[in-house]
A and B are shown apart, each in its own frame.
Chain A
């Protein structure tokens, strides 16, 4: 006995429904954005197309520190020249930031600034003399509403889901729009080759101090990355670690505090609750994620 057309269509229809039931039920169990996110493995659809069927198989490592929105609090009154210098030194060392004397070519991720330059809107001539002497540690503010990310034509600088504004050096074309957009001067351009090498690949002169971290090439913009590579290993940013160690030695409150701004119990939130903190150039609306206790 043969299968007539009517019967065949019935079987085909029911089996299609059956086969689609499991993925459909899975998809309905989460919200559409979560589902899409899972399908794309965290990549954007265009990035998926770029990889042409190569599905990302990456995972977050278990020891990684995660947050909804990373933030830092700088308690300036606890800072001194020594702590500020220690922060700068460790940051520039682990990130292979070259020490270039010519101020036109200089690269900096974190540095000490005078009060009137760090908080220009808050300055007046009768300000506390001690405040003028304090080293204001400044760096990329990892703005919530980052102007650099808006202007970048290649999406080389972008905002990660946890609030960190990162640079993808592979995509940077060196147009420096981001440097023009950043109100804090937190970005540096590589005008010269930072770690020159000979034909055979050997470094001419000084070698980069951290062989496990990449250097940069000539023609890209760089800045503080909130130690994204350390967070992935479960460590807090190097400057925060260095500052906290020195502050402990000197018997002070920690000068730098790092944590999740969206977590009400995090250290940053506790510090922000107990101290009055301000941000740099709030009038611009970039919503920095670095706070200053003055």
Chain B
């Protein structure tokens, strides 16, 4: 092999550079996000596991059902009927009243930017720290 030493050194340097993000950030993984569940309402329209993995499909189905076929009432597996509405059911004052403590936590962590909120109005949230009153 001609220039064997150079090639091997090159490969090693290459591997080090390629794996740099892995070993450099080792053990520095950000904490898994914790979503804040609603205080009052304990029952969601579907199970926790279903909502964790499939809430986007459910919302997609809801929007088509409401907008295109005018069927606005969702029958949950336990028989309860819900008004299919992201803005008025999911994000109502009784349920996920704070978008920043629920939706945003995971979406920010995973870098997902859903465009729901370009149009739909998120619930009003009180600012956490009230700005000091001016004297």
Q: Is the pairing of A and B real?
A: yes
Q: Is B70 a contact partner of A59 (Cβ separation < 8 A)?
A: no
Q: Is A201 a contact partner of B99 (Cβ separation < 8 A)?
A: yes
Q: Is A214 a contact partner of B121 (Cβ separation < 8 A)?
A: yes
A8 and B79 CA atoms in complex are apart in Å by 42
Q: Is B121 a contact partner of A211 (Cβ separation < 8 A)?
A: yes
Q: Is B87 a contact partner of A212 (Cβ separation < 8 A)?
A: yes
Other-chain residue from B64, B67, B74, B118 in contact with A57 (beta carbon distance below 8 A): B74
Write out, one digit per residue, whether chain B residues 89-108 have a CB within 8 A of any chain A CB (1) or not (0): 00000000001000000000
What chain A residues lie within 8 Å of B81 (beta carbons)? 59, 61
A8 and B120 CA atoms in complex are apart in Å by 61
Other-chain residue from A47, A64, A214, A217 in contact with B64 (beta carbon distance below 8 A): A47
Q: How far is the CB of A59 from chain B (nearest CB, A)?
A: 4
What chain A residues lie within 8 Å of B66 (beta carbons)? 58
Q: Is A60 a contact partner of B70 (Cβ separation < 8 A)?
A: yes
Q: Is B71 a contact partner of A58 (Cβ separation < 8 A)?
A: yes
What chain B residues lie within 8 Å of A5 (beta carbons)? none
What chain B residues lie within 8 Å of A212 (beta carbons)? 87-88
What chain B residues lie within 8 Å of A42 (beta carbons)? 65, 68-69, 71
Which residues of chain A have a CB within 8 Å of any CB of chain B? 41-43, 47, 50-51, 54, 56-61, 64, 158, 160, 162, 166, 168-170, 201, 208, 211-212, 214-217, 228, 232
14 contacts between A and B (CB under 8 A): A41-B69, A51-B60, A57-B75, A58-B65, A58-B69, A58-B74, A59-B75, A60-B72, A61-B72, A64-B70, A170-B63, A201-B117, A212-B88, A216-B119
